[in-house]
Chains A and B, each alone.
Chain A
């Protein structure tokens, strides 16, 4: 009964942050898009470093800790996340090697893509099994957990499409159907990953986290349910309908259009829900994580508005890079960094002081952070992301690299804040740890149970 600390979640967060920082270094150095074409292998290195290395590891680590909280059931296995992490990191390394090989940077033989497909599929399958078993016990699921369940299905679709591409790139596949999917399935892979797996999970979890941290009412009414069904419908139409269209050798455009209409409706209602949560909160002065989450949500709204404008002006395919950049860095990364700022402090506090709570004076969670010092870096991060998006829209590669340099500095500064929180370096009063409290390890949490 109850939820213990997820042992390896901090390791996921550390690996994720390293991937983000590495990705930002590459973009600052001018590697990949927009200096290289959007489908160039160099761009694919960047995209997968961010999508798998940063966002997926971050989300997996967070889900191993918070799915149990969403459904009030313990995680199926607290030991599977470590082999999962090893498989995912190794698979990512193989995948990046494959793209580097395609770009001519390295020459290591034919193994990277099949190996990457096998390792990543195994790693994500383990994550899906662990989270799926956990969710399965808790049916009927509360609404936020249903978003996560659909997101996990989309993860499976993303991985299946990606593994198909890898095997086809590697050469041995001659199936007409798989060749057709590789030729036409890229938009489906991107939408299933970015829209289904990452965004839908973030939306579901945000309902609960925002309500919790701002003391707002939990939303379970007709509108959030409509968000869920419209969003699920949009993803099903795009992914299943899109694959069916490809196999029938016709254009996937109708599936994308219907999916876009449903998806926009879902996002509009989601925006109304979130607006309501912020307005109905009982806590008037909100913490930095909720303030910065608002900037991430504004970035999501801006990305949606940008898509609409680009469709209206018939420029979406030229500017898809700017849209994906804003969604990945303004919305998903912004939300991820904002919530990490709270989650790292909370988990560290619980691990350190949980055993002695009530028995002796203990610091509050907020004593582990110095929000005033972190705020300027978060603001700088969002400003630089928006600047970089503008630079992409106006095809200004140098400005894009400069903005990425600022993003990199801001991200490094935020990572330092997270590190200081984890190491209890920011405790306002220099008090020794009480007897029975224990100083958390940087990367591993000791489950807080008997």
Chain B
């Protein structure tokens, strides 16, 4: 396990409306074998967990002052799976893998849930599954998913107010880098 962490604070980039993904990947690629990454962000960077998981990093996220997040990425022995879903899946998704990513978009104003789902899907590989919770059926998302070749299955949870959608990334997609 690495003892030292390289610090990277992407909060100024995020607050300026920028996209820190490239900067993060450059930093990760430059890490020595015994180094990990300590990342500061303005939100829990869930999409990164999967991307860096495939590069062999385990993550440890905690919320710090002001609603910001500190995430420690350590090198693990084997690639780490994303958070597994305990929720029951619709029948025709039985052969789908457990969700590699989960997001709770219920407190976001439209169209932010759609934007986040599409952004997360771009970071995932073919066959990966994304699970998202929403507060209504994402009617404008479906045509976009279809156009991009993704499969999906969604429905309201028994509480009647949470809409859960599972999206399986279509064939031929490489994660954006």
Residues of B within 8 A of A355 (CB): 144, 147
Residues of A within 8 A of B136 (CB): 212, 218
Is A448 within 8 A of B144, CB to CB? yes
Say which residue of B107, B137, B143, B161 sits within 8 Å of A217 (CB atoms): B161
Is A283 within 8 A of B139, CB to CB? no
Residue of A nearest to B141 (CB): A2
Residue of B nearest to A287 (CB): B109
Residue of B nearest to A73 (CB): B139
Is A350 within 8 A of B111, CB to CB? yes
Which of B35-43, B50-58, B118-126 is the interface stretch?
B118-126
Is B107 within 8 A of A215, CB to CB? yes
Is B140 within 8 A of A357, CB to CB? no
What band does the interface of chain A fall in when counting residues whose beta carbon is under 8 Å from B? Answer: 20 to 34
Complex CA distance for A3 and B140, rounded to whole angstroms: 5
A301 CB, nearest partner CB in chain B, Å: 26
Is B143 within 8 A of A359, CB to CB? no
A362 CB, nearest partner CB in chain B, Å: 8
Residues of B within 8 A of A69 (CB): 139-140
Is A450 within 8 A of B143, CB to CB? yes
Is A2 within 8 A of B120, CB to CB? no
- Known interface pairs A358-B120, A359-B176. Does A346 touch B111 (Cβ–Cβ under 8 Å)? yes
Say which residue of B18, B118, B135 sits within 8 Å of A358 (CB atoms): B118
Is A448 within 8 A of B119, CB to CB? no
Residues of B within 8 A of A250 (CB): none
Per-residue 0/1 for B136-177: is the Cβ within 8 Å of any A Cβ (1 yes, 0 no)?
Answer: 110111111111000000000000010000000000000010
B126 CB, nearest partner CB in chain A, Å: 16
Complex CA distance for A352 and B19, rounded to whole angstroms: 20
B166 CB, nearest partner CB in chain A, Å: 15
Say which residue of B111, B121, B137 sits within 8 Å of A365 (CB atoms): B111
Say which residue of A215, A282, A350, A357 sits within 8 Å of B119 (CB atoms): A357
- Give the interface SS of chain A, mostly helix, strand, loop or mixed: loop
Per the CB 8 Å criterion, the residue count for chain B at the interface is 28
Complex CA distance for A449 and B121, rounded to whole angstroms: 18
A276 CB, nearest partner CB in chain B, Å: 16
Residues of A within 8 A of B132 (CB): none
- Known interface pairs A218-B161, A359-B122. Does A3 touch B139 (Cβ–Cβ under 8 Å)? yes
Say which residue of A213, A346, A357, A365 sits within 8 Å of B144 (CB atoms): A357
Residues of B within 8 A of A56 (CB): none
Complex CA distance for A346 and B115, rounded to whole angstroms: 13
A428 CB, nearest partner CB in chain B, Å: 9
Per-residue 0/1 for A408-450: is the Cβ within 8 Å of any B Cβ (1 yes, 0 no)?
Answer: 0000000000000000000000000000000000000000111
Complex CA distance for A68 and B137, rounded to whole angstroms: 12
10 more CB-based (< 8 A) A-B contacts, given A215-B107, A357-B115, A361-B19: A2-B139, A68-B139, A218-B136, A283-B109, A355-B144, A355-B147, A359-B118, A359-B122, A448-B143, A449-B146
18 A-B residue pairs with Cβ-Cβ distance under 8 Å, sorted by A, are A2-B142, A2-B145, A3-B143, A213-B109, A213-B110, A215-B107, A215-B109, A355-B144, A355-B147, A357-B115, A358-B115, A358-B119, A359-B118, A359-B176, A361-B18, A365-B111, A448-B140, A449-B143
